[in-house]
Amino acid sequence: MFEGDNNLRTLKSHVNTALGLLKADEELFSFDADSSRSHNPERAIAHRLGCYLQLLFKDLKVDCEYNKHVNDPKKDGNDKIIIPDIVVHRRKVDMGNLLVIEVKTTNDESGIENDKNKLVELTRGIQTTQGLMKYDYGLFILFNSSKPSLKWFKDGNPID
């Protein structure tokens, strides 16, 4: 389905469907983001979103906290290990790296910028000893209100 030109409209539709399923999961969002007693559900949200995405991307794998590039850890241009929140890809090959997603549940500016920079690098491509590691699209999702804020990336640049 996503071979060749990787239809962005279909990709966005799948992501919006998964986000709709996630929003319906009220138990996951029954936390007070302003409360000092609440935990940060970022990993729980990323995991559940990944499960919903897997239902929609039947020919690809959806993995959370997946840090492998072929047989080695994913690393950025500074040789720092990268652990994306969610990837939609084919495991152990560089063909079929469709989407990398970073999720945030707070307005931590440095964390947001770090995640966006990671998406820029992963959609631009990083040369490694195993070859070029590149994702067709990147998506940053900020969950800090009733409606998540989405920012898409392609070839190292933000897109609409």
What is the distance between the alpha carbons of residues 23 and 99, in angstroms, rounded to a whole number?
A: 21
> Based on the structure, what is the number of domains in the chain?
1
Whether residue 128 lies inside any domain: the answer is yes
User: pLDDT tens digits, residue range 6-62?
Assistant: 589 999 999 999 999 998 876 666 554 444 444 558 888 999 999 999 999 999 999
Q: In this model, does residue 64 exceed pLDDT 70?
A: yes
Q: In this model, does residue 84 exceed pLDDT 50?
A: yes
pLDDT at 70: 67
Q: In the sheet where 61-64 sits, what is the strand order?
A: 61-64, 86-89, 99-104, 137-142, 149-154, 157-159
Q: In this model, does residue 77 exceed pLDDT 90?
A: no
Whether residue 3 lies inside any domain: the answer is no
Domain CATH number, residue 56: 3.90.1570
Question: Residue 13: which domain range?
Answer: 8-159
pTM for the model stands at 0.87
Give Cα separations from 33 to 15, 26, 30, 137, 160 (angstroms): 23, 14, 9, 29, 28
DSSP state of 50: H
Whether residue 15 lies inside any domain: the answer is yes
Whether residue 68 lies inside any domain: the answer is yes
Whether residue 2 lies inside any domain: the answer is no
Give Cα separations from 87 to 24, 32, 35, 43 (angstroms): 22, 28, 30, 14
CB of 98 within 8 A of CB of 88? yes
Whether residue 39 lies inside any domain: the answer is yes
Whether residue 38 lies inside any domain: the answer is yes
Query: The tokens of 98 are what?
Result: 């469709």
Whether residue 44 lies inside any domain: the answer is yes
